[in-house]
A = this chain, B = another copy of it.
Amino acid sequence: MGIGARGGHNACVTAIETTAPGLPAEGTRARVERAALDLFTLRGFEQVTTDEVADAAGISRRTFFRYFATKADAVWGDFAAHVARLEELLAATDPAQPVLASVCAAYVEVNDYAVAELPLLRERMLLILTEPALLAHSQLRFAEVDRVVARYVAGRSGAAATDLVPRLVAATTRAAATTAFEAWLADQRSALGTHLRQAFAELTAGFPGLLR
């Protein structure tokens, strides 16, 4: 590799079934995600270059950035679908239930993962909440969630989505959910739903344990 050059994914030793240029490229995205997650978990997000991720996935650096807008996006999976599902859950809530309870319930339900998915979720969230660069990036992703929640609260409470209370509910419930995730990551073998419910219970009750 010459000086100043960038090394075009040459002779990728650990490559797993390299794809052809003109092919539909089935599963390439998933393969890149796996490679990225593995490398980031093993050596840390900042210590791994996009060149290495692309190489491990058997594609070029240029192609990596066609699948993911940024290096950080490779750890998020299909987050847009996650947000969309939350929006659907909110739209399908019982109007008889209080607004805040509906939001919390939707959060719990959208995060009710199958057992088989939990290791992957854990790996993702551990990276996102631990690596500074990913934590920073998360703000942009979570902002999409906030907008969805704020719109819902605004619709139910007859306010504008830009008003204080809808934004407040969105920001605080999301903060609570993130904190629950941290607690889940901290103690192995605990249920995510339990932490979420406990966090929302504290929040909606105004932290009754802190009256002193």
Contact = CB atoms under 8 A, between A and B. Distances in A.
Which of A137, A172, A182, A203 gathers most chain B CB within 10 Å? A172
A186 B183 CA distance: 34
Interface string A126-164: 000000100111111001000000000100110000101
A45 to B, nearest CB: 14
A75 to B, nearest CB: 15
B143 A164 contact: no
Interface in A156-210: 156-157, 162, 164-165, 167-169, 171-172, 174-176, 178-180, 182-183, 186, 195, 198-199, 202-207, 209-210
A3 interface: no
A32 interface: no
A153 B169 CA distance: 22
Interface residues of A, number: 44
Copies of this chain per assembly: 2
Contacts of A207: 100, 165, 168-169, 204
Contacts of A206: 100, 203-206
A8 interface: no
Contacts of A140: 132, 135-136
Nearest to A137: B136
Given A206-B206, A207-B100, A210-B169, A180 B153 contact: no
Contact of A135 (B135, B143, B157, B195): B143
Nearest to A150: B179
Contacts of A157: 209-210, 212
Contacts of A99: 210, 212
Which of A100, A180, A204 gathers most chain B CB within 10 Å? A100
Contact of A203 (B168, B186, B209, B212): B168
